[in-house]
Structure 1
Amino acid sequence: MRNHTAITTFILLGLTDDPEMQIVIFVFLLIAYMLSITGNLTIIVLTLVDSHLKTAMYFFLQNFSFLEISYTSSCILRFLYSLSTGDRTITYSACLTQLFFIYVIAIAQFFLLTIMSYDRYVAICKPLHYVTIMNPRFCKTLVFCCWMIALLLISPLLILVSGLEFCDSNAIDHFGCDANPLMKIACSDTGRLEQMVIVCAVVTFILTLVCVILSYVYIVRTILRFPSAQQRKKAFSTCSSHMIVLSLSYGSCIFMYTRPSSKDDMTMNKRISLLNNSISPMLNPFIYTLRNKQVIQAFNDLVTKLYPCQGSSGKLK
């Protein structure tokens, strides 16, 4: 009988073998990664130190920023290492570890985005009860449930992946470990694993998307009933940042997983996946802060405290 430990290391094929293009990709990813870490860390620090950002919305934003840092680090750091050293090998255990963190964090992100949609629903549709409903204990429970659901969904999938046998090829056609490329090089039956991937995708993607759509249907209906145009504009403004992030997250997934699985389309999917893993975590802090006066004011206050002399002349406009 063949054992899956017949192959103990994998080779990540990455995106290209062109050395010049690899340098361009490395510089691009390094800049995007540094901006992502800086932006998301800034949001986390501001929500921790500023008393005006202690509401449920900013608590969820703080946790979302933490997930963004964790997700882009799990995906991009290993690829940056491969590009800088030329070492494309990854051990079996490291591959499973990367797969675990990527999937857990990705699933938790989708459920957290759903909770953030519910938060906006309560804020706009039930404003008088917002503080009572979205109390700190309830918010912490919701975030905890995101992690628990992610762990429950990923555990059976990871068990099935760990049982795969790799006997012939050890070349993963991706820049990181992913379930689909692993199934393509496995020499054992992948039927159950494919079914589990579909179940995880349906529960995570379809269920959360339906909940998000329902939340925004009620939000839009409520906003359209507001008597003045200024009230409607202000209400839509509070949801605009979250709607943009939702569009980026769900749009990229729909684009990747509704395309045929030909070789050219798989290459395109890898590129879209790379952009999703690097660009989205970089853009999200700017999306949430550029139009948010409270966050900008909190940033100005923090700069003033750290640099009293420069703070007054260097405030954001």
Structure 2
Amino acid sequence: MAGVMDSVNQRTQLVGQNRLELLLFRLDGRQLYGINVFKVKEVLQCPRLTVMPKSSPVVRGVANIRGGTIPILDLSLATGRRSLDDLANSFVIITEYNTKVQGFLVRSVERIVNMNWEEILPPPKGTGREHYLTAVAQLDQQLVEIIDVEKILAEVAPTSEVISEGVIDAETQSKAVSKRVLIVDDSSVARKQVTRCLQTVGVEVTALNDGREALDYLRQLADSGRNPNDEFLMLISDIEMPEMDGYTLTAEVRHDPRMQNLHILLHTSLSGVFNQAMVKKVGADDFLAKFRPDDLASRVVERIRVTDGG
């Protein structure tokens, strides 16, 4: 796995081309799973784990890796399957989500594949509400399941959704009731978190599931003679989404004269040094790592003040 994190410049060139690279892995059977390579810092044989008292059963222990103590989550157990017991022959995928580093215990790591986001589809409608999938893809006549990691992390270590006192003032909150924000995210957990945060600010929220759905929605608004920039205070979009990612959505919006002035905030669990350059390349106005209620609320408050001349 020495090559997992090389060719960063090559990956950066995928921006705006609606492409991604998936690291494929298996848990307790033959089913293939995928995770975006941009989330992966390192892949290694499972190190020695130290059990943490009173931690979630999903957290198999912590490992000392390159001078840091990292929690290791059993991805099989987290998704309702049996735990992975043969640790000596298992692997750990070290990832960074929402600026936090954790490891995911898996049975085996396969390879990296380059795919188009149009080939990444939402989970089948009959999957039910309790599933842990955020998307699926067909690869070499085999189904690849992409796990909703944000849902797992929210269950293992819930994030506070409380906005600190002083972030929103009464005057701004009174102005917020006339504002509407469009949010786009394929994770049901992320959509709920962002919606609750923005509702606390006072704005009305329209929530959609992916970039393709959002672009179609905005185009229909424009076709009907309504200006999306007048309809919405801002667009807050995830980056990783099936069918159309947030970078491509941003680029498409910027290329359409009817909506090109819409304020766009990319709000994503992708971390790292690449993001600022990518955000600038596709023409987004701002970037924020998920999920920090105070930071998100502050961005919305700032937009309200700017649009109202405050």
What TM-score results when the alignment is normalised by the length of structure 1? 0.25
- Which of structures 1 and 2 has the larger relative contact order (alpha carbons within 8 angstroms, sep 6+)? 1
Which structure's residues are more often helix, by fraction?
Answer: 1
What TM-score results when the alignment is normalised by the length of structure 2? 0.25
Determine which structure has more spread, i.e. the larger CA radius of gyration. Answer: 1
Which structure's residues are more often strand, by fraction?
Answer: 2
